[in-house]
Amino acid sequence: MNIASVFRGLAVLAWIAFIAALGMTLVRSSRGQAAKGFGTILVAVLVAAIVLTSVGAGLVFLQADQHAVVISALQPNGYRAQALGPGLHWIVPFFENVRTYSIARQSYTMSIAFGEGQRGGDDAIEARTKDGQVVHVDASIIYAIDPARIIDLHINWQDRYEDGVVRPVSRSAIREAVSQYGIEEIVTSRRVDLENDIYNTIAEGLSSNNLVLTEFLLRNIAFSEEYATAVEQKQISEQQAQQAAYVVEQRKQEAEQARQQAQGQADAAVIAAKGAADARLIQAEAEARANQLLAQSLSPQLLQYQYILKLSPNVQTIFLPSGNQFILPLPSVTGQ
């Protein structure tokens, strides 16, 4: 309770007391009883009631979210040039009064669902897209009164700004913005752009009427039953196409894996064959080198000795007359 309410309450009590004192005075007078002291009390209570009523009428207390326009019979144009802000104020009793407005945020919802919006029943905005599709838009507009221009709002709209400004400006902006987009753009890639366009148009319309747009909420976009069915079929087709593409890709991966495995086996066989060939070449080179070294180490005397050993492993000594030839010819060591 603020101080202005206290004074108004006291004024009411004072008037009750005055009426009670007046009644008692009249009763005593009708009975012929003296009413000398009651006259003074009656006047005092009357003066107190008038003073308290005047003070109560002159005090105005506004809450933190309130501003007020002072309607004045003392001003040529009928109102004060400055609005009253939050707090305690004094106006001229009986010649001035105030019209209070809330500057807190307010919400205006237009919905297809019953009971969700400011109006009962289906209040969604019907709009037509650039490609001729009909959509129904659910939206909420969060706005507030501009405190700096509250007097202009009072002059132009008073308390009719919701139905006179917010609703028509919002519905017109939504229809205009939707008409600039195709149905596919609204559904997918450009919904954010649509919201921004609607926000800017509504903000401009409200600002020109002394209101401030705080937020625009695009709650839902409903499509016709035919289009919804077409979208569903398209989504099913896209899912099937994606599944087919996945299967094809999986088969490609399996084929690539088999090819790489076969390539690995072929490379392993080539490496093994090359290793075997290299080993045979090294062995042949070693044998050739050994034969070369063996050939270099042979002499006629050694050949004759080996030959004799082959003739008879048990022969220890052979005596030949001087100057005689071997019975068998020795092998040639000249390579002829």
- What pLDDT digit, counting tens, does each position of 118-140 carry? 787 788 999 999 988 889 999 99
Cβ-contact 98, 142 below 8 angstroms? no
Cβ-contact 166, 128 below 8 angstroms? no
- What pLDDT digit, counting tens, does each position of 296-317 carry? 766 666 666 666 666 665 655 6
What tokens does 241 get? 């196409």
Classify burial at 291, counting beta carbons within 10 Å of its beta carbon; exposed 0-12, middle 13-18, buried 19 or more: exposed
What tokens does 208 get? 């020109």
**Crossing angle of helices 36-58 and 3-30, rounded to 10°:** 160
What tokens does 179 get? 């008409």
Residue 282 has pLDDT above 90, yes or no: no
Q: Which residues pair with 213 in a beta bridge?
A: 143
pLDDT at 336: 45
d(CA 71, CA 154) in angstroms, rounded, equals 10
Q: Assign 94 a pLDDT band (cuts: 50, 70, 90).
A: confident
pLDDT at 24: 74
Q: Report the alpha-carbon angle 70-72-73, nearest 5.
A: 170
- What pLDDT digit, counting tens, does each position of 243-254 carry? 778 878 888 888
- What pLDDT digit, counting tens, does each position of 148-163 carry? 999 999 999 999 999 9
Instruction: Give the number of other CB atoms < 10 A from CB of residue 188.
Output: 8
pLDDT at 84: 94
What tokens does 87 get? 């707090």
Q: CA of 20: how far to CAs of 15, 38, 45, 292, in Å? A: 8, 11, 10, 154
d(CA 143, CA 105) in angstroms, rounded, equals 5
Classify burial at 104, counting beta carbons within 10 Å of its beta carbon; exposed 0-12, middle 13-18, buried 19 or more: exposed
Phi/psi at 79 (5° precision): -155, 155
Which is higher by pLDDT, 264 or 63?
Answer: 63
pLDDT at 14: 82
d(CA 319, CA 302) in angstroms, rounded, equals 18
- Give the three-state DSSP class for 121: coil
Alpha helices, H only, 59-182: 150-156, 161, 167-178
Alpha helices, H only, the chain: 3-30, 36-58, 150-156, 161, 167-178, 183-187, 191-207, 225-297, 300-311
Residue 333 has pLDDT above 90, yes or no: no
What tokens does 18 get? 């005055």
Cβ-contact 218, 109 below 8 angstroms? no
d(CA 133, CA 299) in angstroms, rounded, equals 113
Q: Assign 95 a pLDDT band (cuts: 50, 70, 90).
A: very high
Residue 106 has pLDDT above 60, yes or no: yes
- What pLDDT digit, counting tens, does each position of 3-38 carry? 777 877 888 888 888 788 777 777 767 766 655 666
What tokens does 150 get? 């509250």
- What pLDDT digit, counting tens, does each position of 174-216 carry? 999 999 998 888 877 788 999 999 999 999 999 999 999 999 9
- Ordered by where they begin, the domains of the chain are 3-100 (no CATH), 106-223 (3.30.479.30), 229-336 (no CATH)
